[in-house]
Chain A
Amino acid sequence: MVKYSYYPGNTARQSSIEVEDTIQPMARSLGLDLIDITGCNSDGGEIICQTNKLLQLTLNARNFALAEENGHDIVTACATSQGNMFAALKTLKSDPVLCAQVNSVLEKTSDLNFKGEIKTSHLLHVLVDEIGLEKINDLVVNPLRMKVAAYYGPNMQREGACGDDDAFNPQYLERLIEALGGEAIDYDSKTSSVGAPSLLTLEAPVMQMTAQVLSDAKAAGAQLMVSACTISHSNLDSYQSKAAKVSRKDTNMPVIHLSELVAFALGHHVDRFAQLKTRALVIGG
């Protein structure tokens, strides 16, 4: 059993609750033990650092210290959270003075101490690097049999934060899709931003960015998009029709989370999977 401290991110237990519905069944099938970090807080998104970098760093350090008490590295299903945590961890490890300052606050407020003995990963990299595509392929019950576009977003696509994958031309998600019995569709904007941090503040350009990603994938023949970022999923799914109106592009496509994709292929939530396949067939590539 591979054990990880599980950090759900900022939306997996809110607007992206389907991640919570699927991640634990998926993990059980793969022999992956995801242990909740009891009492973990928001990592600050990409928002709190805009007003107080030290505050966001300390909030992250608190989660790291709690995970260290768990004794396992952190995994998250959200690319934005992985990007934020990776950046925070890098800062704390490279600046001992700042780390001491953060620890001083942690000790005073939470009786915790960040030791720097932990690392963070995205679920995708754990699946490919730790579990292995061969094992996953062996466990597939319901092959995807759809043309699937992989969306990574920009946050975790930086050197060091995305396992051994190429930060700028990643292939992990495509390889996973193939292992799950789907056909991976390549398209240009799979690491482009959909402007998630500015969804509520910059409507027109963010809708343009969202539409660009969806229409690129659609033009490449995708029937379905899988998002490695739970926050970006809101743009790609809930704001899909608004993005189409603003950009006048064809954006109509089912968009699901990574944990849903894997769980469905491994035989969980067969009713949801059947519903998804029907939607994909109706909407078309």
Chain B
Amino acid sequence: MTIIAKVWIEEDCITCDACSDICPEVFDVTDDSSYILAAVRTDGGFDRNESKSTLKSEFGSEYGEMIMEAAEACPVDIIKFEEVSSAGDETTDDSVVEVAAVAEAAPVAAASVPAADAGVLAELFAGDRNLLILFGSQTGNAEGLATKTAKLAANYGLNATVADMDGFNVDSLSSHKRVLIITSTWGEGDMPDNAEDMWQSALKSSANLSSTHFSVCAIGDSSYDEFCKAGTDWAERITAMGGIEIHETALCDVDFDTPWAAWVSEALPRIACVDDAGVFQSELLEAMIAYGQGSDDDGQESGDFTPANIEQAEMAINMRIFRYDPASSEYGWDEVATALPGHATIQDALISIQGKVDGSLAFTRSSLSGNNPLTGVKANGRIVLADLAQISDLCQDGGTLTVEPLPGHEVLKDLIVANDNWDAARVASKPWMVSGPRSGEYLENGSAIGVMDSAVATELHAIADVSSLHLIQGMSDCMGLDDSYNGPGLALQRWVRSCDPRSAESHRGAMMDSLQNKGGIWQEADFATISRQGADGERAVDSLLDCRARLLAEYNFSGRFGRLVKSYASSVKASGNVNETTLYRTVLGPFGLASNIMNGVSLRMMLGFTRTGGPMMRGFQGMLVPPAGIGKIPDMFNARIHDHHEVVAIFNELDSRF
């Protein structure tokens, strides 16, 4: 897991929006530059973060990988960041086992006090926050609990270190203000093997532990007479050495999870209230408990959740890979028989082939963060990201997996496609944020920050909640056949911007114009090609249909597209079924109909009976209002369906425009 400590923007941002598209939770692109949002920073500022203020812990860890991805995607390479350094590097004592995740998270967590508690706990968090967790373990249970305890300690702003009692210098306890001991009991009330030496040292030690607060979690078996004796011995000895027991010793039977959980939920907030001077601040306990609970909502922090290790059986497949050599302008197919685990991705397969079969194979690889929206390919007809799509989802054992470049794009080499057209169209239409005046609040540091209702923000996010806009671009069947079309991915981006309440009204108008006019969304010939491509395609089409509906309303059903929709709906309302003949006339107009006559379309429709073998005319309308009713040209007038009034009522109820 990648945890980012700091992220900042250097000068010369081109405000391209790439960063905010990838990680809108951290980046916000203004007219001048990309900014780091105040909500994620410990200093609450809203600027490029030139001061390199740290990120709040939950954001540094949650969005770490997305920040790295945004940095990689930045075309001018001005997004800089620092990762939290590995605690393992700082280990100096062999007996001390640093828990990396805890050590990484803790310093940041200490700074991530919610605004409501800042005044109460800020001073406490500002000082030393070290916590020592000692374990005496014979079978590993106590060690495991120590590790879990360390992870939970981060929730209370503590920087926990887990240490084995074996080799630990007992006299050094006096330098620790906060100590937790978790130990099992071995045999008839004996210390576990790894704790015996330290225990003997403790019995002889004259160290003064008067500034050390501690608590003990004792594990034992109640069927033995000396139940949990090792733990109670430690509690008594440390008290005798002057230590202050912050919470009573927990006595855990063989089913130790529940009593340990109860102990840790009490002991941790209490010991977290020991301040920099070693004084227990009892008045802060309530705030500390609330703070700890607030940062443990998702269960993932607790360390109790372990993702399943999903593995699938090996598959033998035949891979057909498109190859293109730009030097000779030759293209063709490579066929490679390979065996891979079913959970391998297309990218895994390509890397394997590149390494073992043909080093010249070219394809776009995943980014450092593990997912790259530019790795789109066509695999067995499906438009997918090569670094996410698993082989087992695309073909069966013994089957063939055909991998082609993303459709609708110029192929540079093998599976690598050019994104020049995308970039050019994007720059031309400027679908990035141009904000207008809006409501906001002032932060404590005086900086202004815009606010948005959470429901609006969620809806805005959902509009383009797809894994890759480039992938959506590749789903359209007409992209490669219509040079003037900017594509559905770009249209989706513009639609989001036009729905964004932060956009200036003039910019929103410009976005709508770009969607309505040449290159816009009306040049998508068939949404079905997109919606059939799974959840991403369905999501995109759902949004783009909303876009078209808004365009029709705002531009008053203008143009051929508007006439088509209005005439179609009107004819359905009029009879219950669409009337193709009136639809042609209304939409095409006299010039369009003339074009069809010149190009032979009308004649082919009239003479359709010569191809189908059907009758020339099926009723009187062919004689009364020709060419309607002749050949394959339908009648001019539709018969109304049974209970037609019900359809009229539905239209009247839901849309009175028709």
Q: Are B634 and A55 in touch, CB under 8 angstroms? A: no
Q: Are B632 and A205 in touch, CB under 8 angstroms? A: no
| Contacting residue for B529 out of A193, A204, A245, CB 8 A | A193
Q: How far is the CA of A201 from the CA of B562 in the complex (A)?
A: 9
Q: Are A168 and B382 in touch, CB under 8 angstroms? A: yes
**A134 in contact (CB, < 8 A):** no
Mark A162-173 against chain B: 1 for CB-CB distance below 8 A, else 0.
Answer: 000001110000
| Contacting residue for A41 out of B525, B529, B576, B657, CB 8 A | B576
Closest to A155 in B: B528
Closest to A111 in B: B646
| Contacting residue for A48 out of B531, B572, B644, CB 8 A | B572
A-chain residues with CB within 8 Å of residue B605 when the two chains form the complex: 15, 238
Q: Are A53 and B549 in touch, CB under 8 angstroms? A: yes
Q: Are A195 and B526 in touch, CB under 8 angstroms? A: yes
Q: Are B577 and A41 in touch, CB under 8 angstroms? A: yes
B-chain residues with CB within 8 Å of residue A58 when the two chains form the complex: 650, 654
A-chain residues with CB within 8 Å of residue B653 when the two chains form the complex: 105, 108-109
Comparing B83-91, B364-372, B581-589, the segment that makes contact with chain A is B581-589
**B599 in contact (CB, < 8 A):** yes
| Contacting residue for A46 out of B526, B611, B641, CB 8 A | B526
**Count class of interface residues, chain A:** 35 or more
Q: For window 637-653 of chain B, which residues contact chain A by CB distance below 8 Å?
A: 641-644, 646-647, 649-651, 653
| Contacting residue for B477 out of A13, A49, A62, A154, CB 8 A | A154
B146 to chain A, nearest CB (A): 47
Q: Are B580 and A241 in touch, CB under 8 angstroms? A: no
B-chain residues with CB within 8 Å of residue A10 when the two chains form the complex: 577-578
| Contacting residue for B649 out of A17, A46, A109, A154, CB 8 A | A109
Q: Are A167 and B532 in touch, CB under 8 angstroms? A: yes
Q: How far is the CA of A204 from the CA of B525 in the complex (A)?
A: 11
**B655 in contact (CB, < 8 A):** yes
Q: Are A238 and B481 in touch, CB under 8 angstroms? A: no
B-chain residues with CB within 8 Å of residue A83 when the two chains form the complex: 528, 532
Closest to B534 in A: A159
Q: How far is the CA of A16 from the CA of B642 in the complex (A)?
A: 21
B74 to chain A, nearest CB (A): 34
Mark B556-581 against chain A: 1 for CB-CB distance below 8 A, else 0.
Answer: 00001100111011001000111110
Q: Are B532 and A158 in touch, CB under 8 angstroms? A: yes
Comparing A125-133, A138-146, A272-280, the segment that makes contact with chain B is A272-280
Q: Are A54 and B572 in touch, CB under 8 angstroms? A: no
Q: How far is the CA of A105 from the CA of B647 in the complex (A)?
A: 11
Comparing B6-14, B46-54, B283-291, B612-620, the segment that makes contact with chain A is B612-620
Closest to B612 in A: A18
Q: How far is the CA of A209 from the CA of B580 in the complex (A)?
A: 21
| Contacting residue for B561 out of A40, A167, A201, A254, CB 8 A | A201
Q: Are B381 and A168 in touch, CB under 8 angstroms? A: yes
Q: Are A195 and B632 in touch, CB under 8 angstroms? A: no
Which has the most chain A C-beta neighbours within 10 Å: B523, B552, B572?
B572
**B545 in contact (CB, < 8 A):** yes
A-chain residues with CB within 8 Å of residue B35 when the two chains form the complex: none
Contacts A83-B528, A209-B481 given; indicate if A48 touches B568 (C-beta within 8 A). yes
Q: Are B534 and A15 in touch, CB under 8 angstroms? A: no
| Contacting residue for A208 out of B481, B522, B553, B600, CB 8 A | B481
Closest to B632 in A: A15
B-chain residues with CB within 8 Å of residue A52 when the two chains form the complex: 549, 569, 654-655
**A223 in contact (CB, < 8 A):** no
A264 to chain B, nearest CB (A): 10
Contacts A51-B549, A201-B561 given; indicate if A62 touches B646 (C-beta within 8 A). yes
Q: How far is the CA of A237 from the CA of B610 in the complex (A)?
A: 12
Contacts A51-B552, A108-B653 given; indicate if A191 touches B564 (C-beta within 8 A). no
Q: Are A110 and B649 in touch, CB under 8 angstroms? A: yes
A87 to chain B, nearest CB (A): 7
* Total contacting residues, chain B, CB less than 8 A: 73
Q: How far is the CA of A10 from the CA of B577 in the complex (A)?
A: 7
B-chain residues with CB within 8 Å of residue A209 when the two chains form the complex: 477-478, 481, 525
Q: How far is the CA of A208 from the CA of B482 in the complex (A)?
A: 9
Contacts A50-B545, A87-B531 given; indicate if A271 touches B613 (C-beta within 8 A). yes
Q: Are B601 and A242 in touch, CB under 8 angstroms? A: yes
Closest to A87 in B: B531
Q: Are B564 and A47 in touch, CB under 8 angstroms? A: yes
**B343 in contact (CB, < 8 A):** no
B-chain residues with CB within 8 Å of residue A48 when the two chains form the complex: 565, 568-569, 572
Contacts A195-B478, A238-B632, A272-B613 given; indicate if A200 touches B528 (C-beta within 8 A). no
**B205 in contact (CB, < 8 A):** no
Q: Are B549 and A50 in touch, CB under 8 angstroms? A: yes
A165 to chain B, nearest CB (A): 12
**B322 in contact (CB, < 8 A):** no
Which has the most chain A C-beta neighbours within 10 Å: B477, B522, B633?
B477
Contacts A241-B604, A242-B599 given; indicate if A51 touches B632 (C-beta within 8 A). no
| Contacting residue for B613 out of A237, A241, A275, CB 8 A | A275
| Contacting residue for B572 out of A38, A42, A191, A272, CB 8 A | A42
Q: Are B641 and A40 in touch, CB under 8 angstroms? A: yes
**B167 in contact (CB, < 8 A):** no
**A21 in contact (CB, < 8 A):** yes
Q: How far is the CA of A245 from the CA of B599 in the complex (A)?
A: 8
A227 to chain B, nearest CB (A): 13
Q: How far is the CA of A53 from the CA of B547 in the complex (A)?
A: 12
**A192 in contact (CB, < 8 A):** yes
A-chain residues with CB within 8 Å of residue B525 when the two chains form the complex: 193, 195, 197-198, 202, 205-206, 209
**A76 in contact (CB, < 8 A):** no
A144 to chain B, nearest CB (A): 16
Given A47-B564, A59-B572, A153-B528, 4 additional A-B pairs, CB 8 A: A15-B580, A41-B641, A48-B565, A205-B523
B contact set with A: CB distance below 8 Å: 380-382, 477-478, 481-482, 485, 522-529, 531-532, 534, 545-546, 548-549, 552-553, 560-561, 564-566, 568-569, 572, 576-580, 583-584, 587-588, 592, 595-596, 599-601, 604-605, 608, 611-614, 618, 632-635, 641-644, 646-647, 649-651, 653-655, 657
A contact set with B: CB distance below 8 Å: 10-11, 13-18, 21, 38-42, 44-55, 58-59, 62, 80, 83, 87, 105-106, 108-110, 112, 153-155, 157-159, 167-169, 191-193, 195-198, 200-206, 208-209, 212, 237-242, 245, 254, 256, 260, 269, 271-272, 275-276, 279
The 9 listed contacts between A and B (C-beta, < 8 Å) are: A15-B580, A17-B618, A46-B528, A105-B654, A110-B646, A205-B482, A206-B525, A241-B599, A242-B601
Which 6 pairs between the two chains have the least Cβ-Cβ distance?
A: A168-B381, A272-B613, A195-B525, A109-B649, A39-B642, A14-B634
